[in-house]
Amino acid sequence: MMHITIGKHGYHFTTNAIKIIEEKYNAKYMGYWCTKRNGGGSWNEVPVDVFYVENPDTSKGHTNYFGMFRKGENVLITDASSSFSEPMTGVLCPDGEVAVSRYRHDCRAAGSGAIDGGRDYTKLVGEACRYPKVRVTVEGGEFTFKELTNA
């Protein structure tokens, strides 16, 4: 069965801080992912810790996904729905894990190879070049996978 492993330690926050955020906002940690830049064109190079909320307060403009990050001593929150607005490309490792590069220059181990490039490009290294490519999408706080043919 295909799966993505989401670490419990965030990019900006410790495991304990992630738990506190989940409890405070009744949210599910989705990992750290890049978001689109203001204006929607290109992708940010630094990820945010992304959380899923089943029932956001849409009257306040909230979406199902919010991101939290640190800028100096400040903790900021942002709309992170762009993180999952487009499919991602991953590779299916022999153990069933789908390896995905989450942001530019996020070189991720993929079995006995690696994937890099985030949302900007896809670079495969070593044995990962031979692994099947997978289309990764997110719906309702869950990752879904579809193996790509002739990719």
Per-residue pLDDT at 39: 76
Per-residue pLDDT at 7: 81
Residue 149 banded pLDDT, cuts 50, 70, 90: confident
Q: pLDDT tens-digit profile of 47-75?
A: 999 999 999 999 999 999 999 999 999 99
Kindly report the CA angle at 31 between 25 and 34, in degrees rounded to 5?
105
Residue 18 banded pLDDT, cuts 50, 70, 90: very high
Task: Pull the structure tokens for residue 59.
Answer: 């009257």
DSSP H or E stretch at residue 21: helix 15-25
Instruction: Please state the pTM of the whole predicted model.
Output: 0.93
Q: Give domain limits for the chain.
A: 15-84, 88-147
Report the chain's mean pLDDT, rounded to a whole number. Answer: 93
- The span from the CA of 98 to the CA of 93, in Å, is 6
Does the pLDDT of residue 28 top 70, yes or no? yes
Kindly report the CA angle at 108 between 81 and 145, in degrees rounded to 5?
55
Q: pLDDT tens-digit profile of 70-114?
A: 999 999 999 999 999 999 999 999 999 999 999 999 999 998 999
Does the pLDDT of residue 150 top 80, yes or no? no
Q: What share of the chain is helix, strand, coil (3-state, %, to 5)?
A: 15, 40, 45
Q: Which residue has the higher pLDDT, 13 or 1?
A: 13
Task: Say whether 70 sits in a helix, a strand or coil.
Answer: strand
